Amino acid sequence: MSFVRLMTGDVAPEKLGFTYSHEHIVCRPAYWAERGQEDFLLDDVVKSEQEVAAAKKCGVDTIVDATAIDYGRDPQAVYDISVHTGMQIIGTAGFNKGFLWDAKIPGEDRTYEEWIDTASIQELTDFVVKEVNVGMQGTSVKGGQVKFGTGYNSISPLEIKTIRAVCRAHLETGAPVHSHTEAGTMALEQMQYLKEEGVDPHNVSFGHMDRNPDTYMHLKLADTGAFLCFDGIAKVKYNPESTRIKCILELAKRGYDKQILVSGDTARRSYYNSYTYAVGLPYIKETWLPRLIEEADMQGLDGKKLAENIFINNPRECFSFKKVR
């Protein structure tokens, strides 16, 4: 029987409710901290909790916190926020992307790059498996998905190493897989390694698809059975909402409505209302979703059914642990 692993314990997939599929709640990325880039530091636990509480109040039931260890994850702080607010939160095991790895691991004299370079694939696999089965960073808070990532139009040898380790951890644990694609690139290229490792693409969600609004690529990826996450909502500096919605509706028209996820990837202070008075986490549920429904209806689709799939039914399937061996 499948289940979803929350930070607070395992639940039936039907318990997820309305779900944001890719956010960040508390993170202190060493790469950005070393460079004095404070906007990337979501390090005020009180403010982060206020934001999550606001999302809960407007009807969000579950948030996937996609923060991996190399992006300054704080599993205990996010667990506490979950308990205090009642928000169900899924944590993330594994890794992010290579350009972050020249930063030093907090409390150690080595960098992430030195760690990943000297460790074997089996050792990295064992690390990810432990994060899922035992707990993350010395806590009992378990990861509910496993993550890898690649660079902008590039995949480095060390990134390949982490892809293989994460794929093998998935096969051992049954945990769902999440892929970081830098600006929406290299998703199809990543698929080569998933196939080599024997991973069913239907167990994988690919992030940042709206950063590369290429419907041809989206359709090719959807053909594999994978989930596509459009997680840049409200980031008009990259693309207008009309572009994101068009990409989503093109997939829905072709029958891929059960493979679409949506979120905001709020990984900066300047995206949070509690830090900087930005639109924050409630924006998708309160403002963006009614527009999606309206535009879907205008194009002959059932907007409410599409919304139900994107925010309720699809996350249930995507974030469920499955028997894969």
The architecture (CATH level 2) of 4-318 comes to Alpha-Beta Barrel (3.20)
**DSSP alpha helices (H): ranges in the chain?**
30-34, 45-57, 75-85, 112-118, 121-133, 157-173, 187-196, 215-223, 241-253, 273-276, 282-283, 289-298, 303-308, 314-318
The pLDDT score that the predictor gives to residue 322 is: 93
Section 70-87 average pLDDT: 98
Section 75-86 average pLDDT: 98
Q: What is the pLDDT of residues 268-315, one digit of tens each?
A: 999 999 999 999 999 999 999 999 999 999 999 999 999 999 999 999
Q: What is the pLDDT of residues 120-164, one digit of tens each?
A: 999 999 999 999 999 999 999 999 999 999 999 999 999 999 999
The pLDDT score that the predictor gives to residue 12 is: 98
Q: What is the pLDDT of residues 192-222, one digit of tens each?
A: 999 999 999 999 999 999 999 999 999 999 9
Total-model pTM = 0.98
- pLDDT tier for residue 325 given thresholds of 50, 70 and 90: confident
Residue 232 CA, chain-centre distance (Å), reads 11
The yes-or-no verdict on residue 324 having pLDDT over 90 is no
**DSSP alpha helices (H): ranges in 254-288?**
273-276, 282-283
Residues 174, 142 contacting (CB under 8 angstroms)? no
The yes-or-no verdict on residue 114 having pLDDT over 90 is yes
- pLDDT tier for residue 1 given thresholds of 50, 70 and 90: low
d(CA 181, CA 116): 19
**Overall size of the chain counted in residues:** 325
Q: Share the mean pLDDT of the chain.
A: 98
